[in-house]
Chains A and B, each alone.
Chain A
Amino acid sequence: QKEVEQDPGPLSVPEGAIVSLNCTYSNSAFQYFMWYRQYSRKGPELLMYTYSSGNKEDGRFTAQVDKSSKYISLFIRDSQPSDSATYLCAIGKGGGADGLTFGKGTHLIIQP
Chain B
Amino acid sequence: QVQLEESGPGLVKPSETLSLTCTVSGGSISPYYWSWIRQPPGRGLEWIGFISYSGSVTYNPSLQNRVTISVDTSKNRFSLNLRSVTAADTAIYYCARGAQPKISGWFDPWGQGTLVTVSS
Q: Do A and B come from one complex?
A: no
